[in-house]
Each structure stands twice: as structure tokens, then as C-alpha cells.
Amino acid sequence: MKFKEFIRELNGENAEGELIKTSFISLCTSLVLLGILYFFFLRGMDNLIPKYGFYLLFASISYAMIIPSIRHIRAYANFPCMSGMMIGMTIGMISGFLPGFFVGATNGMFYGSIFGIAVGTTFGAWNGKCCGIMGIMEGIMAGFMGGLMGAMTSIMMLNDHIKIAGIIVFVISSVILFGLNFMIYTETRESERKRKEDHFSTFALSFILTGLTLLIMLFGPRSVLFQ
């Protein structure tokens, strides 16, 4: 019954009703940025779309799945300890694993790990603080492990259906994030929303993450395997 109520709330006026809109705004921001950069600056690059198009597209879609969950968490600000630890762990792991996987596939394990760890630990700690130091620690640990595991997985599968694996990884991560949003709903159904904000942070995060991902993939340093 709670799940059916949650699905109905996706079209409502509460924080859950903003999830789809936030995802759409994030994805549009990323795709518009990529389109502008491609048509005005990158069209002359050889083999750009075949080599990087898949990874840039799925990185952008991944951010469009992660950012709505971050906004959902910020709407209620504070959570019980166990819920906050789950929030820090989930956001840290997914936001570390996915960028690490896609950057690792183009630049190598070291640089994919560094990027994944940076994004994962930052987002994990930022969102895990909703329950205090335990959530922050959980977010940092999950982001650290997620970044390493994402890049390592992509390198291990370079010659073994890596793009299919990328789709599978993305689908499972999306299911996990959807479950997180449902958990937040069940925890906050009787709570008052603490923060209501515009979509500037959605735009800014999408712009920064997509821009950084593109710059690293195209112009960043590469491991010896990718020279």
C-alpha cells in the first residue's frame, strides 16, 4: 500500500512530486551542454562519438538519476541514524561507482578511481550528514569503495562486453536509487518538509559534473593502457 501511495505522490505536490521533474531538468542540462560543446568546439575531433558517446551519454543519465535523490534528501534535512547511514552509503556508493566506471572505461583505472572517489565521497558525506557523523563516515567509506570498484570493473571488462555491462550497472543502480527514494518517503510521510528550493542546484550540479566528465574523458590524463 505504501508503494502505491509513493507512486501516486510522484505526480503530487510534495517533495516526491519533484523527482521526475528534477531528473528531466538534470538530463536536459547535461544534453544541452554536450550538444553546444560538440557543435561549436568538438565536431572536428576524430572518432569522438563512437569512442566517447556511449560513456558520456550514460554518465549524463546517471547524474540525472543521482541528483533527484540528493534533492529529495535535502527536502527533509534530518533523518534517524539508521536511515541516515543508509542514505550516506547508497548515495556514496552509487555516485562513486557510476562515474568511476564510465571514466575508467576511457581513461584507465587510476583516473577513473580518483574521479569516482572524489564524487562519491563528496556526495556521500554531504548527504550522510543528515544523521550526523555516522552518516558522514558511511558516505565517505561507500564513496571510497564505490569509486575504486567502478573503475576496476570497467578495466576488467574492457574486452568483454563492457557497454552491455555498463547498461546493466546503470539499470541496477537506478533500481537502488528508486528504492532509496521510496525509503525516504516511508520515513517522512508524517514529517514536515524542512527545505523548499528552486532548481538552480540541479542545473549547477548537472552542468559541473557533465562538464568535468567530458573534460576528463577527452583531455584528461590517461593510464598507459589508453595511450
Residue 1 banded pLDDT, cuts 50, 70, 90 = low
- Give the CA angle between residues 207, 66, 125 to the nearest 5°: 95
* DSSP states along 207-227: HHHHHHHHHHHHHS---GGG-
Q: 123 near 146, Cβ under 8 Å?
A: no
Q: Residue 33 CB: number of other CB atoms within 10 A?
A: 17
Condensed to tens digits (0 to 9), the pLDDT of residues 53-95 reads 999 999 999 999 999 999 999 999 888 889 999 999 999 999 9
Cα-based distances in Å from 92 to 9, 134, 175, 199, 221: 26, 13, 15, 22, 24
Exposed, middle or buried: residue 51 (CB in 10 Å: 0-12, 13-18, 19+)?
middle
Residue 209 banded pLDDT, cuts 50, 70, 90 = very high
Phi-psi region at 108: left, alpha or beta (left = phi > 0; alpha = psi -120 to 50): left
pLDDT score at 15: 84
- The residues, ordered by sequence, that sit 6+ positions from 176 with a Cβ below 8 Å of its Cβ are 90, 94
Helices and strands in the chain: count of H runs, count of E runs: 9, 0
pLDDT score at 225: 75
* DSSP states along 90-151: HHHHHHHHHHHHHHHHHH-HHHHHHHHHHHHHHHHHHHHGGG-HHHHHHHHHHHHHHHHHHH
- The residues, ordered by sequence, that sit 6+ positions from 90 with a Cβ below 8 Å of its Cβ are 69, 142, 176, 177, 180
Distance CA 165, CA 172 (A): 11
Q: Which three cell numbers stand for residue 223?
A: 593510464
pLDDT score at 184: 92
Share of the chain above pLDDT 90, in %: 70
Q: Residue 192 CB: number of other CB atoms within 10 A?
A: 6
Given a cut of 90, whether residue 176 has pLDDT beyond it is yes
Condensed to tens digits (0 to 9), the pLDDT of residues 112-143 reads 999 999 999 999 999 999 888 999 999 999 99
